[in-house]
Amino acid sequence: MIARRLLLGVCLLTAVSIGGGLAAVDSVSAATPVALSEPAPTAAVAEPATPPANGSFPVTLTDATGTVVTVETRPDRVTTTNPSAAQTMWTLGAADQVVGLTQYADYLDGAQQRENVSAAGLGVSVERVVATEPDLVLAPNATSRETIRTLRAANLTVYHFPAATDFAAVARKTQTIGRLTGNTAAATETNAWMWRNVAAVDSRTADVDRPQVLYPLLGGFAVGNNTFIHEIITTAGGENVAASEFTGYRQLNDEAVIALDPEVLIVTDQTKGQILDSEPYALTTAAETNRTASVAVQYLNQPAPRSVVYATRNLTTGFHPALAVDGAVADNATAETTTSGSAAERPTDVSAPGFGVSVAVVTLVTAVVIARFRPGR
């Protein structure tokens, strides 16, 4: 039973690290982000350094693999191997440059008119990526290095991003995408929009009483410290109880979850019901008081500016229902605090959300588990 749970968790972790979500929810307009009501950033919120305002080429940058990547001219055909990069391109108003994306980005407006480069199982299909004839491939960190090497062997220009572990990393990733695709000004504007919204929330939650929060994933995994989701939780006025236990994303056994005893459980449109109705979460204070904060999965698990803005502002409402955040986004990622209703009335979605973890490592672990517990071996 333990082996099956571990294998389930590893498989889910692999799937969601590639996709950042297993189902389409709401579409996002390709237009420039709508201006919200935000104060100027406070001293506690650092603005990213502003690069040259022009989008001149060639652009030469070193990626996460240590490879020096040069883009000679503005790319007309861009393929993304993970949804966070696609979401960023849409937010920059550069959707018209995207010719390929994965199935997990199908919530984006017009995504169905692009080539789906997902593999039949997990990950991306190298053949499908090559078939899009891209001038540039944007590959967030969850894309395995083996895939990166194979794409480069096919003579494609590929930029591999490091993990975005906090808001500053999301901003750097956005600016890099802007520079590589000739959308530098839009990236600078988008980052400023993100930081203003973060500051607006931060100013409201600075002195609140912080509920103990846990973001559980299927397979027994949870979100710890040194993740951009942890920063979303803390900025929104919650205390991530798993942060003191580990960094990144790890499995928690039942005893650990019960000992942490969160007051609020974060659920997504894909995990409602599946979490609260199952042990050990059903034994926590959050379940006993029926208190959750809910956000659409693609706006919590994909490290991109729109995700930061939507998830942070709406989780603030989820953690602190009486706390109004001026200009809060409510159309595509609504948060809610449930304080009544029986377990039978809750949804029963069973899919799992995602986050950036090296696919190569997860695949190796999966292989070990299968080899160890395969029947008859």
Q: Tens digits of per-residue pLDDT, 293-308?
A: 999 989 999 999 999 9
Whether the upstream peptide bond of residue 280 has omega within 30° of 0, thus cis, is yes
Say if CB 104 and CB 19 are below 8 A apart: yes
**Is it the case that residue 240 has pLDDT exceeding 90?**
yes
pLDDT value at residue 332: 30
Say if CB 11 and CB 356 are below 8 A apart: no
pLDDT value at residue 238: 98
Number of domains in the chain: 2
pLDDT value at residue 79: 98
Q: Which of 142, 154, 155 is nearest to 80 (CA)?
A: 142
Kindly list the distances between the CA atom of residue 248 and the CA atoms of 1, 251, 373, in Å, as whole numbers in the listed order: 25, 10, 26
pLDDT value at residue 322: 87
* Residues contacting residue 325 through CB under 8 Å, at least 6 positions apart: 200, 201, 204, 313, 316, 317
Whole-structure pTM value: 0.75
**Is it the case that residue 91 has pLDDT exceeding 90?**
yes
Per-residue pLDDT tens for 260-293?
A: 999 999 999 888 878 888 899 999 999 999 999 9
- Block residue for tokens 């672990």: 365
pLDDT value at residue 271: 84
d(CA 57, CA 139): 20
Q: Which of 64, 91, 325 is nearest to 192 (CA)?
A: 91
**Is it the case that residue 351 has pLDDT exceeding 70?**
no
Q: Is residue 23 part of a domain?
A: no
Largest CA distance in the chain: 64
Q: Is residue 257 part of a domain?
A: yes
Can you say how many angstroms the Cα of residue 160 is from the centroid of all Cα atoms in its chain? 16
* Residues contacting residue 177 through CB under 8 Å, at least 6 positions apart: 85, 88, 89, 92, 138, 183, 187
pLDDT value at residue 103: 94
Q: Is residue 374 part of a domain?
A: no
Say if CB 148 and CB 359 are below 8 A apart: no
Let me know whether 99 and 69 are in one domain: yes
Let me know whether 104 and 151 are in one domain: yes
d(CA 223, CA 90): 27
Let me know whether 77 and 153 are in one domain: yes
Q: Is residue 71 part of a domain?
A: yes
Burial class of residue 82, CB neighbours in 10 A (0-12, 13-18, 19+)? buried
* Residues contacting residue 285 through CB under 8 Å, at least 6 positions apart: 212, 261, 262, 263, 291
Domain boundary among 128, 163, 194: 194
Q: Which of 72, 64, 81 is nearest to 132 (CA)?
A: 81
pLDDT band at 198 (very low <50, low <70, confident <90, very high): very high
Top-ranked range on mean pLDDT: pick from 202-206, 231-235, 373-377: 231-235
* Residues contacting residue 347 through CB under 8 Å, at least 6 positions apart: 272, 273
pLDDT value at residue 219: 81
**Is it the case that residue 169 has pLDDT exceeding 90?**
yes
d(CA 111, CA 100): 9
pLDDT value at residue 7: 44
d(CA 153, CA 130): 11
CATH number at residue 306: 3.40.50.1980
Let me know whether 224 and 328 are in one domain: yes
Q: Which amino acid is at 265?
A: L
Q: Which carries the bigger pLDDT value, residue 187 or residue 46? A: 187
Q: Is residue 165 part of a domain?
A: yes
Residues, the chain: 377
Q: Which carries the bigger pLDDT value, residue 158 or residue 329? A: 158
Let me know whether 344 and 306 are in one domain: yes
pLDDT band at 325 (very low <50, low <70, confident <90, very high): low
Per-residue pLDDT tens for 117-154?
A: 999 988 999 999 999 999 999 999 999 999 999 999 99
pLDDT value at residue 8: 44
Per-residue pLDDT tens for 18-71?
A: 334 332 222 222 222 222 333 333 323 333 444 444 479 999 999 999 999 999
Calculate what percentage of the chain has a pLDDT beyond 90: 64
**Is it the case that residue 232 has pLDDT exceeding 90?**
yes
- What is the average pLDDT value for the chain, to the nearest integer? 78
d(CA 45, CA 146): 37
Let me know whether 52 and 135 are in one domain: yes
- Which DSSP string do the residues of 155-167 spell out, in sequence order? T--EEEPPP--SH
pLDDT band at 326 (very low <50, low <70, confident <90, very high): low
pLDDT value at residue 168: 98
Q: What is the CA radius of gyration of the chain?
A: 20
- Residue 115 token pair: 């080539």
**Is it the case that residue 237 has pLDDT exceeding 60?**
yes
Let me know whether 254 and 292 are in one domain: yes
**Is it the case that residue 319 has pLDDT exceeding 80?**
yes
Q: Is residue 34 part of a domain?
A: no
Let me know whether 238 and 341 are in one domain: yes
Domain assignment of residue 149, given as a range: 48-194
pLDDT value at residue 135: 98
Residue 44 C-beta-side C-alpha neighbours within 13 Å: 10
Kindly list the distances between the CA atom of residue 174 and the CA atoms of 50, 128, 133, in Å, as whole numbers in the listed order: 12, 25, 23
Let me know whether 313 and 340 are in one domain: yes
Per-residue pLDDT tens for 109-123?
A: 999 999 999 999 889
pLDDT value at residue 323: 83
Let me know whether 131 and 218 are in one domain: no
- Residue 15 token pair: 């799937």
Domain boundary among 145, 160, 194: 194
Q: Which carries the bigger pLDDT value, residue 230 or residue 278? A: 230
**Is it the case that residue 202 has pLDDT exceeding 90?**
yes
Burial class of residue 197, CB neighbours in 10 A (0-12, 13-18, 19+)? buried
Let me know whether 169 and 242 are in one domain: no
Q: Is residue 217 part of a domain?
A: yes
Q: Is residue 31 part of a domain?
A: no
**89 sits in which H/E element:** helix 83-91
Let me know whether 236 and 288 are in one domain: yes
Dihedral Cα 47, 52, 55, 58, nearest 10 deg: -120
Domain boundary among 170, 194, 218: 194
pLDDT value at residue 269: 84
